[in-house]
């Protein structure tokens, strides 16, 4: 049986995602599509627009057979750790292929790149170190170092965001010796960070979120870029939860956290380094919004994403010690949802799975789960007290969504 | 020169307080009235209705000559530690008398009581311990133990709240060998916890606060129980700050704090004992308001006030270790405000004061001040971001109010 994994955020699920699923099925000849999806918080260090359950429904309604959760400890990390987590869970779940979007679109590029970087490893690492000393951000340093390598322009362009992520998936497969074959599809039309909704039917998730958060009444304006099932889910979500989530709703809690934490406590937060926590403490009082805080703490040294992730770990009180669990802890497989085909697969496979399978988390004792629960608590605080209680109850006791 | 201290909260200043000042001046023959006033948070573990600066103005406008701050580390404690702090600062400031309201109204009662309890100390302590073992609250245990002492009914009734506080002031004077003569005035008319505004001109601060918080538009209904200067200050405050402060506005932050703290971190909070912190963790998710939280965690063992104080220390992240500083740290004298007479006194006396005198705190490094700053940060979060910044700036840089 051909089980294909896709690594997703679906924030929210849109026509581009639908296209990716269709193309994936074609090129991998998949019998089953397993999406491994980030939960409440995303790789850019942001809360998801809508709950993991609503996003799971959106995926199942559009051809995904099983949705697994990518735990917070992986989902809110830079590309390498993010990819490592996703590949290890997909591998443990028995996926035998993975398909990702990239600017390149040719999987041979990725295999060649792995070989090329292996051959140039020493030079590459030295150049990265030199570039970092000059005070540029980590992604910039990677890009500089790569461009200094002889013949780099004969392999994949590693300055493009989806090529980077794809490279990390393929690298993780090699390093973990995972029994997974990678595939890639060329990304079309919408660029990842587009801010405007185009007239055609494919738009970036960024532009869709922007529209939904800023103009909560204008669901109509995104109607043509999402499947009707997504649209209906968004309408229903807004009706039940009253608002979509964003950082500004959580900002008061971040502010409170920074104002009441000791310097030592802040320095122990994951990703606090080089006095970043002092920068946060010193500017928090002047900031009247999350946006203004970010503008105040931004420097050349750190990317916006890196800083958002640090703010997020501060909000969720995720310490260096706790997060170091990813180095030596076997992950679990948490099923967020499945259709009937997916259910059959799980029932047949569950005794052969290499990782523990969990559905509701209330009774699970696992270091990742403690962080997950706390992340959900923080996520819920962006809503009214009654919705808060509902979201937390869902986290603890929600069975997988079944369609 | 006759300097008389009064220990106050002025939350807000009302006609009863005015009466107390007038009577104090008469019986102590005071040349100068020094009020030592709690800052942002009060003995009952609640935020003050309005800022310390507004309350300072109210006091100066009605015959108080100098207002000093009772630091958070003393102001939010049970009667004994509260009184110890107030007396030590008043003594260090050169007050030679103190005048407090009591149900008794006769200072001889207090001297006799000190002697009586000293004589029965062993029996008294044993009875307190026995009562506590039965699971009653600390104040109840004190009262039981006192009532078991032979001839207790021939001395002061220690089951009345103002007699208890008065006893602690007089005891602190004895223990500290303070050069202070205590006086007391019989409390009239309004009972401390009255909830309704009476027709006459004296009402309890509790009833006034209730009116102001519940019906923020009905300032008129308290007009006859406060001096016109208080009324004007309240009107102006509401205009500038948009709302009066209460626990409900801070509840979301308490909830966040409890949800994101480790069990160890909560157990380290000051006044966490006998699993109180677990009770808080276990009920916080069901609570949709501070009131409902309090009702859920209330037991026979702890008074409402004791529980509110624990919630407050949790909110301000005040740990056992930090708060233990009161045992071996010399306090400072922080002047919140003064009139011209008060100013002259301070200018003449400042070189003779036994404690360090501070006005603005921005550059002061003192363990109490760190807690004070954090308390102000928490207090400010009950307001809009712009008011937050204003309140925090005031805390750091506000010079004493001078009228």
Considering the domain boundaries, does residue B115 fall inside one? no
Q: What is the pLDDT of residues B357-395, one digit of tens each?
A: 987 787 888 999 999 999 999 999 999 888 998 888 888
- Whether residues B252 and A381 touch (CB distance < 8 A) is answered with yes
B335 marked as part of a ligand binding site: no
pLDDT of residue B195: 59
Mark out the alpha helices in A61-204 (DSSP H runs): 72-75, 79-92, 107-119, 121-133, 138-148, 161-175
**A314 and chain B in contact, CB less than 8 A:** no
Q: Which of A285, A286, A374 sits opposite B259 (nearest CB)?
A: A374
Considering the domain boundaries, does residue B173 fall inside one? no
A291 contacts on B by Cβ (under 8 Å): none
pLDDT of residue A139: 81
User: Any residues with CB less than 8 A from the CB of B232 and at least 6 apart, and which?
Assistant: none
Number of H helices, E strands in chain A: 19, 8
Chain B closest-CA separation from residue A53 CA (Å): 20
Statement to judge: residues B224 and B371 lie in one domain: yes
Q: At B8, list the tokens.
A: 């106050």
Statement to judge: residues B200 and B345 lie in one domain: yes
Alpha-carbon distance values, A54 to A312, A379, B104 (Å): 22, 14, 65
Statement to judge: residues B311 and B196 lie in one domain: no
Statement to judge: residues B208 and B291 lie in one domain: no
pLDDT exceeds cutoff 90 at B199: no
Q: Which of A260, A386, A392 sits opposite B378 (nearest CB)?
A: A260
pLDDT of residue B94: 94
Statement to judge: residues B59 and B18 lie in one domain: yes
Q: At B31, list the tokens.
A: 């040349």
Q: Which residues of A201-228 are buried (b: 16+ CB within 10 A; e: fewer)?
A: ebbbbbbbbbbbbeeeeeeeebeebbbe
Domain boundary among the residues B317, B346, B376 is at B317
Considering the domain boundaries, does residue A77 fall inside one? no
Helices B138-148, B121-133: axis angle to 10 degrees equals 130
Statement to judge: residues B300 and B353 lie in one domain: no
Helix (H, G, I), strand (E, B) or coil at A41: strand
**B403 and chain A in contact, CB less than 8 A:** no
- Whether residues A385 and B256 touch (CB distance < 8 A) is answered with no
- The answer to whether B169 and B181 are in contact (CB under 8 A) is no
Residue of A nearest to B392 (CA): A285
Statement to judge: residues B233 and B262 lie in one domain: no
pLDDT of residue B32: 97
pLDDT of residue B144: 85
Structural domain that includes position B37: 3-103+186-241+331-402
Cβ count near B340 (within 10 Å): 10
How many A×B Cβ pairs under 8 Å? 59
Statement to judge: residues B236 and B272 lie in one domain: no
Q: Which of A259, A378, A392 sits opposite B260 (nearest CB)?
A: A378
pLDDT of residue A149: 87
Mark out the alpha helices in B33-160 (DSSP H runs): 52-60, 72-75, 79-92, 107-119, 121-133, 138-148
Q: Which residues of A241-276 are buried (b: 16+ CB within 10 A; e: fewer)?
A: bebbbbbebbbbbbbbbbbbbeeebbbbbbbbeeeb
Q: Which of B288, B381, B385 sits opposite A256 (nearest CB)?
A: B381
pLDDT of residue B216: 59
Considering the domain boundaries, does residue A292 fall inside one? yes
**Pick the residue with more confidence: B283 or A158?**
B283
Between the two ends of chain A, the Cα-to-Cα distance in Å is 22
| DSSP conformation letters of B200-260 | SS---HHHHHHHHHH-TT-GGGGGGGS-HHHHHHHHHHHHHHSS---HHHHHHHHHHHHHH
Q: What is the pLDDT of residues B311-344, one digit of tens each?
A: 999 999 999 999 999 988 999 999 999 999 999 9
**B392 and chain A in contact, CB less than 8 A:** yes
- CB < 8 Å from B in window 349-378 of A: 374, 377-378
Statement to judge: residues B295 and B341 lie in one domain: no
Question: Distance between CA atoms of A238 and B342, rounded to whole angstroms?
Answer: 59
Helix (H, G, I), strand (E, B) or coil at B32: strand
pLDDT exceeds cutoff 80 at B200: no
B18 marked as part of a ligand binding site: yes
- Whether residues B261 and A317 touch (CB distance < 8 A) is answered with yes
A389 contacts on B by Cβ (under 8 Å): 285-286, 288
- Whether residues B256 and A255 touch (CB distance < 8 A) is answered with no
- Whether residues B289 and A316 touch (CB distance < 8 A) is answered with no
- Whether residues A285 and B392 touch (CB distance < 8 A) is answered with yes
pLDDT of residue B193: 55
Chain A closest-CA separation from residue B286 CA (Å): 7
Question: Distance between CA atoms of A373 and A376, rounded to whole angstroms?
Answer: 5
Q: Which of A260, A315, A378 sits opposite B316 (nearest CB)?
A: A260
Q: What is the pLDDT along chain A (403 residues), one digit of tens a residue?
A: 899 999 999 999 999 999 999 999 999 999 999 999 999 999 999 999 999 999 999 999 999 999 999 999 999 999 999 999 999 999 999 999 999 999 999 999 999 999 998 999 899 999 989 988 888 888 888 888 888 888 888 888 888 889 999 999 999 999 999 999 999 999 865 555 555 666 678 888 888 888 887 765 678 888 889 999 999 999 999 889 888 999 999 999 999 999 999 999 999 999 998 889 999 999 998 898 999 999 999 988 888 999 999 999 999 999 999 999 998 899 999 999 999 999 999 999 988 898 999 877 877 889 999 999 999 999 999 998 889 988 888 888 888 999 9
pLDDT exceeds cutoff 70 at B260: yes
Considering the domain boundaries, does residue A393 fall inside one? no
**B396 and chain A in contact, CB less than 8 A:** no
Question: Distance between CA atoms of B275 and A201, rounded to whole angstroms?
Answer: 57
Statement to judge: residues B278 and B373 lie in one domain: no
* Beta bridge partner(s), residue B8: B37
pLDDT of residue A195: 59
Considering the domain boundaries, does residue B236 fall inside one? yes
Report ipTM for this prediction: 0.90
Domain boundary among the residues B290, B317, B344 is at B317
Q: Which of B253, B255, B260 sits opposite A374 (nearest CB)?
A: B260
Q: What is the mean pLDDT of chain B?
A: 91
pLDDT of residue B197: 62
By C-alpha distance, which of B403, B373, B386, B393 is closest to B69?
A: B373
Considering the domain boundaries, does residue A276 fall inside one? yes
Considering the domain boundaries, does residue B152 fall inside one? no
Chain A closest-CA separation from residue B254 CA (Å): 10
Question: Distance between CA atoms of A56 and A335, rounded to whole angstroms?
Answer: 10
pLDDT of residue A189: 52
A8 marked as part of a ligand binding site: yes
Is the alpha carbon torsion for A20, A24, A27, A29 positive or negative? negative
Statement to judge: residues B385 and B279 lie in one domain: no
- Whether residues B257 and A259 touch (CB distance < 8 A) is answered with no
CATH number of the domain bearing residue B90: 3.40.50.620
B252 marked as part of a ligand binding site: no
Chain A closest-CA separation from residue B401 CA (Å): 24
Cβ count near A92 (within 10 Å): 20
- The answer to whether B7 and B86 are in contact (CB under 8 A) is yes
Q: How many domains does chain A have?
A: 1
φ, ψ (nearest 5 deg) of residue A282: -75, -25
Q: Which of A256, A261, A374 sits opposite B253 (nearest CB)?
A: A256
pLDDT exceeds cutoff 80 at B279: yes
- Whether residues B389 and A285 touch (CB distance < 8 A) is answered with yes
Residue of B nearest to A250 (CA): B256
Chain B closest-CA separation from residue A256 CA (Å): 7
- Whether residues B374 and A286 touch (CB distance < 8 A) is answered with no
| DSSP conformation letters of B132-194 | HHTT--HHHHHHHHHHHSTTGGGS--TTSHHHHHHHHHHHHHHHTT-S-EEEEEE--SS-TT-
């Amino acid at each position: 049986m051909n089980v294909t994994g896709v690594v997703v955020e679906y924030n929210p699920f849109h026509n581009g995602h639908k296209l990716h699923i269709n193309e994936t099925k074609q090129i991998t000849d998949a019998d089953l599509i397993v999406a491994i999806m980030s939960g409440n918080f995303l790789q850019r260090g942001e809360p998801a627009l809508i709950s993991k359950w609503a996003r799971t429904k959106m995926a199942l309604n559009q051809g995904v057979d099983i949705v697994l959760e990518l735990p917070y400890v992986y989902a809110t990390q830079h590309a390498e750790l993010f990819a490592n987590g996703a590949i290890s869970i997909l591998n443990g779940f028995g996926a035998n292929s993975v398909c990702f979007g990239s600017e390149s679109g040719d999987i041979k590029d990725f295999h060649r790149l792995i070989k090329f970087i292996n051959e140039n490893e020493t030079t590459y690492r030295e150049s990265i170190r030199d570039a970092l000393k000059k005070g540029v951000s980590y992604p910039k340093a990677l890009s500089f170092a790569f461009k200094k390598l002889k013949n780099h322009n004969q392999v994949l362009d590693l300055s493009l965001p989806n090529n980077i992520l794809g490279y990390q998936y393929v690298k993780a497969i090699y390093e973990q010796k995972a029994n997974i074959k990678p595939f890639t599809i060329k990304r079309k039309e919408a660029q990842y960070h587009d801010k405007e909704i185009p007239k055609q039917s494919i738009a970036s998730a960024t532009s869709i979120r922007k529209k939904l958060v800023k103009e909560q009444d204008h669901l109509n304006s995104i109607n043509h870029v999402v499947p009707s099932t997504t649209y209906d889910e968004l309408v229903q979500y807004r009706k039940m939860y009253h608002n979509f989530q964003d950082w500004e709703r959580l900002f008061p809690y971040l502010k409170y956290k920074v104002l009441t934490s000791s310097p030592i406590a802040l320095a122990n937060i994951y990703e606090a380094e080089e006095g970043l926590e002092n920068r946060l403490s010193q500017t928090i009082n002047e900031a009247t919004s999350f946006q203004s805080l970010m503008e105040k703490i931004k420097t050349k040294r750190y990317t916006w994403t890196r800083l958002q992730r640090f703010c997020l770990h501060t909000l969720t009180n995720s310490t260096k010690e706790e997060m170091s669990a990813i180095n030596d802890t076997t992950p679990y497989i948490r099923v967020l949802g499945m259709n009937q085909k997916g259910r059959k697969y799980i029932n047949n496979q569950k005794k052969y799975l290499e990782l523990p399978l969990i559905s509701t988390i209330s009774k699970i004792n696992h270091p990742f789960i403690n962080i997950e629960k706390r992340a959900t608590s923080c996520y819920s605080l962006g809503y009214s007290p009654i919705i808060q209680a509902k979201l937390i109850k869902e986290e603890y006791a929600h069975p997988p969504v079944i369609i």
